[in-house]
Amino acid sequence: MDSKLDNNRESFKTSFGLLAAAIGSAVGLGNIWRFPYITGAYGGGAFLIVYLLCVVIIGIPVMIAEFIIGREGKKDAIGSYHRLAPKEPWYISGILGVGAAFLILAFYGVVAGWTLEYIVSATLNKFAGLSAEGVESYFVGFISDPIKPIVWQLIVMAVTSFIVASGVEKGIEKIAKILVPLLLLIIIILDIRAVTLPGGKAGLDFLFKPNFAELTKEGVLAALGHAFFSLSLGMGIMVTYGSYIPKDENLGKTSLYISIADTLIALLAGVAIFPVVFAFGIEPGSGAGLVFITLPNVFTQMPGGYLFSIMFFALLALAALTSTISLLEAVVAYVMERFGMERVKATVITAFLITLLGIIASLSNGILSHRQIFGDNIFDFLDNLTADFFLPISAFISSIFVGWRLDKKIVENQLTNNGTIQVGYVKALSFLFRIVSPIAILIVFVSGIMERLGLL
């Protein structure tokens, strides 16, 4: 496999390295934190079926579209659009993507820091003897503290920066080939323990047996939204990674494998969590507090819970780190090319600015909580701004650009590797690019705004 692109741009050296890096980007706290609780909130197996359909009609096509833009453009998320459509405004998608990566990493780095705190707390057995209310008080007290969350955030950003500064092959690819298999190993061990709990079978039934009577329109919209949020779409990441993909790599298969792996890990997270939830009589749709408030209390009550508590929060930390790496890389790649900066300098400056915003976001859970933007503290505002606006608009433009603006021959050449491989889905994929995916994304975008306005 050729590890150099035509312009000597950095690239992934191996197919496994590419898959590991992209899977690591897609697999994050969204799989292990958000996916289980929204599945629980919207009826389990019925939601799961809708989600899988959304991955097919939105996730895979948009990922392929972003890979095509990156590999054909051979530049960062903004520069690739400039190269493919000079003096046309399509680069707005890249601006939104890079902007989203910057803003998301600011608050995501804070949450990643929480996982490190919980690894230490679980190791020191701080949750032993605490009631559910006691764990909640611990969590609220920690995130509102003006010092501790920031210290953990700084550690996360320092580790992330070191990996990104080391380069695509020697940093991102090398660490992804270690972290992703390790993440998978930990989650499988947790699954084995969860399914052996008395009463755990009810959790598996809830996850895999469809109950369409409990599936609401809100659940369908949540599935649509999570499909591209989970796969790191609209963040400039897959366009950037696409520019590092060698010309002999099959984009369709790569996108399919990434989507399958991402969904599989989300399901395995559900298998690790739902049997525990049902074994101890917890409400499965109990919200985002499930992993930071409910589960720490449950682990103290189950045999071997001490060890599995440590492993669970190590899993969260690994998932968070694989995502922070890709988020930072999307911004660093732009800074390097836009300002002609070498990688280490670009990484340090970018990480410093993101960390400053992250510190403000962290403090908004405590001493700056009175500083509100449209009714949200700064942390929640960054989350809502990117999820409701930046991501869907960027993904929408990417799909429209490949479907309607980019030359069909370019699209076909990218899918077939210039005619060297046979691909029988070009027309079907084109239909998804042009019609299905944009409409689905538009539904997500409009519904998000309506929900924010209280109209849904």
Sign of the C-alpha dihedral computed for residues 144, 368, 105 and 387 taken in this order:
positive
Judged by average pLDDT, the poorest of 109-113, 117-121, 288-292 is 288-292
The pLDDT-based confidence of 35 (bands split at 50, 70, 90) is confident
CA-to-CA dists, residue 222 to 30, 60, 140, 199, 288, angstroms: 12, 17, 26, 28, 14
Residues 318 and 312: their CA atoms lie apart, in Å, by 10
The pLDDT-based confidence of 43 (bands split at 50, 70, 90) is confident
pTM for this predicted structure: 0.94
Quote the pLDDT of residue 286: 59
The pLDDT-based confidence of 361 (bands split at 50, 70, 90) is very high
CA-to-CA dists, residue 452 to 6, 19, 383, angstroms: 46, 36, 13
Quote the pLDDT of residue 131: 87
Judged by average pLDDT, the poorest of 7-21, 147-161, 362-376 is 7-21
Enumerate domains of the chain plus CATH numbers. 15-452 (1.20.1730)
| Bridge partners, residue 444, by sequence | none
Quote the pLDDT of residue 380: 93
Angle at which helices 92-123 and 148-165 cross, to 10°:
120
Q: What is the dihedral of CA 176, 341, 391, 116, to 10 degrees?
A: 40
Quote the pLDDT of residue 288: 58
| pLDDT tens string 64-109 | 999 999 999 999 999 999 999 999 999 999 999 999 999 999 999 9
Residues 271 and 188: their CA atoms lie apart, in Å, by 9
**Is residue 203 over pLDDT 70?**
yes
Residues 149 and 135: their CA atoms lie apart, in Å, by 17
Which tokens is 267 given? 């399901």
**Is residue 6 over pLDDT 90?**
no
Would you call 97 exposed, middle or buried from its count of C-beta atoms within 10 A (0-12, 13-18, 19+)? buried
Quote the pLDDT of residue 186: 96
**Is residue 3 over pLDDT 50?**
no
CA-to-CA dists, residue 29 to 44, 123, 291, 310, 454, angstroms: 19, 21, 10, 16, 27
Ranked by mean pLDDT, the top range of 295-304, 419-428, 439-448 is 419-428
Burial 361-387 (b: 16+ CB within 10 A, else e): bbbbbbebeeeeeeeebbbbbbbbbbb
User: Token pair 């992703």 is at which residue?
Assistant: 180
Q: What percent of the chain has pLDDT over 90?
A: 71
Quote the pLDDT of residue 41: 75
Quote the pLDDT of residue 341: 96
